[in-house]
Structure 1
Amino acid sequence: MSYLNNVTGTREDILTTRSVMKRGSYAILEPDGLVKNMIPGFEKCAVTIMASPKLGASFVDYLVTAEPGGGNTKGFGNPGEEIFFYVFEGKVKVWNEDKEAEVTDGGYIYCPEGKKLYFENIGDTDARAFLYKRLYDRVEGYEAYTVIGNINDVPWSYYEGMEDVLVKDFLPAATDLGFDMNFHILAFKQGACHGYIETHFQEHGAYVYSGQGVYNLENDWVPVKKGDYLFMGAYCLQAAYGVGRGEDFAYIYSKDCNRDVRL
């Protein structure tokens, strides 16, 4: 086991962290202190486990760094699980029993329940990716299917009519009830914010890949920035402002959808 930011040894100052842990409600994980894990099936990969049921999430999020030639060619995914894999940077071959493709920065694959994910870094440099798994909520008469694409090919849309908050969707969940979850990218221009503080049943796992923001989580105003991970549980009060200079405040996040509540 080693650390995500590769910082070890004695610190010159007292130990501090921006991370916040409120299990079942919300969490913010800054890179400092996060560990790399060795997981069976992942070869020449550093894997960091972010959200999990131990945190109160109904899903698991991972950050994956694959060295050249690294990946998972034995297959990732247990019975009943759906998988989403997004490449931040690198050249990666992705496949399941239905489809295969070579993807680069912004490329992704969604594997429905019963279709294991396989991937291999076929580039000359490290590949960085985001990995997600969740138990699929099956409904009779509907079925999800494999999706491979690149988010850079998807145009931005105004988020709820706001020209300074932009969104992209990865999966066709808005029109296809076979999908019980979706991934999105949300980007805030400087000073932009949500139109209201949200309160909803759905959960989020979010990774900030650009800029800086201030997030309201259960009425705690918390600064976040590029490299931070956020978990937001069901009914967590939530809203954000884009702050900082230079690049937009932007993050990739998951959201469960299209299902009634099971008792």
Structure 2
Amino acid sequence: MTGRAVFTTAYAVIPRVVMRDIVTSMLPFWRGTRAWILARPMTGFAETFSQYVVEVEEGGGSERPDTEPEVESVLYVLSGAMTLDVGGAKIRCSSGAYAYVPPSTPWAVVGDEKRSMFVWIRKRYQAVDGLEAPPWFVVPDERDVVPESMPDTEGAWSTTRFVDPLDLRHDMHVNIVTFKPGAVIPFKETHVMEHGIFVLQGKAVYHLNHDWVEVEEGDFIWLRAFCPQACYAGGPSDFRYLLYKDVNRHPPFLSVQR
């Protein structure tokens, strides 16, 4: 037996090779669709989001994709193409397309090719009195967004941001992070944000808590709050991943002793 799958109290690594037919899920009101559920809220681990990889056949999809109206979504198309209908506006989305759907917003999706794959990130929106929910938007091609170089890295480490970091209506950011071959996160990041990291391209080694783990295209890393993390992009090509994090809100007190 060989494999790179690991689950700890601080992080999990789900390699692409374990995402097989026997672990798929069917979803209510979806047709011609199956999903690999990579993350779900878990008490004592990561609690703010769920994340899927979804496969849709041509003509498959849903007119009622989410049964929880208070949930917001980000969709990122990995391959193929699909038509996304948000509030009656129909937009064809192919590989590299990115969409944000606010809570309580009707939407639908239909697969346009034999097989289309997308990442679906869901979060219960944390409403704040005095802040309206952000509007929906679609970026047809992530290459249309100019990556921002991280400080003192000369472009070796960059972030493609789809949301203005100063827009406090958003309570999550889903960005694309890119490392050139040989680039590093040179310190152990330790922070309150939870992460879902879906590797889009390349290979790297991550230092998570006390461990070095190898990751590559199609793998998923799941980090709870405050898990120390660093990265070295050791492959021959760029290392790129889709990154979820929860932002811009007070940590909630779920119960108060009186």
Same fold (TM over 0.5): yes
> What residue is the counterpart of 1:42 in the other structure?
30
List runs of 5+ in structure 1 lacking aligned partners.
1-14
1:23-45 Cα offsets, whole Å, 9 max, x none, are: 4x210001233321111122111
Aligned to 1:75, what secondary structure does the other structure show? coil
The code of the aligned residue for 2:32 comes to K
Q: Deviation at 1:138?
A: 0.8
Question: Is the aligned partner of 1:20 residue 2:6?
Answer: yes
Q: Deviation at 1:148?
A: 1.0
Aligned to 1:194, what secondary structure does the other structure show? strand
Aligned to 1:32, what secondary structure does the other structure show? helix
Q: Deviation at 1:73?
A: 2.0
Query: Is the CA contact 1:95–1:101 (under 8 Å) kept in the aligned structure 2?
Result: yes
Q: In the aligned structure 1, how far is the partner of 2:25 from the partner of 2:106?
A: 21
> What residue is the counterpart of 2:146 in the other structure?
155
Question: Is the aligned partner of 1:240 residue 2:231?
Answer: yes
1:181-233 Cα offsets, whole Å, 9 max, x none, are: 11111111111011321000000101001110000110211111111100011
Tell me how large the CA RMSD over aligned residues is.
Answer: 1.6
Question: Is the aligned partner of 1:229 residue 2:216?
Answer: no
The code of the aligned residue for 2:157 comes to V
Q: In the aligned structure 2, how far is the partner of 1:49 from the partner of 1:157?
A: 30
> What residue is the counterpart of 2:91 in the other structure?
101
Aligned to 1:141, what secondary structure does the other structure show? coil
The code of the aligned residue for 2:73 comes to I
The code of the aligned residue for 2:185 comes to H
Question: Is the aligned partner of 1:140 residue 2:129?
Answer: yes
Query: Is the CA contact 1:203–1:256 (under 8 Å) kept in the aligned structure 2?
Result: yes
The code of the aligned residue for 1:160 comes to P
The code of the aligned residue for 2:66 comes to F
Aligned to 2:250, what secondary structure does the other structure show? coil
The code of the aligned residue for 1:42 comes to W
Scaled by the length of structure 1, what TM-score is found? 0.88
Q: In the aligned structure 1, how far is the partner of 2:121 from the partner of 2:209?
A: 25
List runs of 5+ in structure 2 lacking aligned partners.
254-258
Aligned to 2:143, what secondary structure does the other structure show? helix
Alpha carbons of 1:120 and 1:240: their partners in 2 closer, same or farther (altered >3 Å)? same
Q: How many residue pairs get matched?
A: 245
Query: Is the CA contact 1:76–1:116 (under 8 Å) kept in the aligned structure 2?
Result: no
Q: Deviation at 1:175?
A: 2.3
The code of the aligned residue for 1:257 comes to V
Query: Is the CA contact 1:186–1:252 (under 8 Å) kept in the aligned structure 2?
Result: yes
Identity %: 30
Scaled by the length of structure 2, what TM-score is found? 0.90
Q: Deviation at 1:77?
A: 4.4
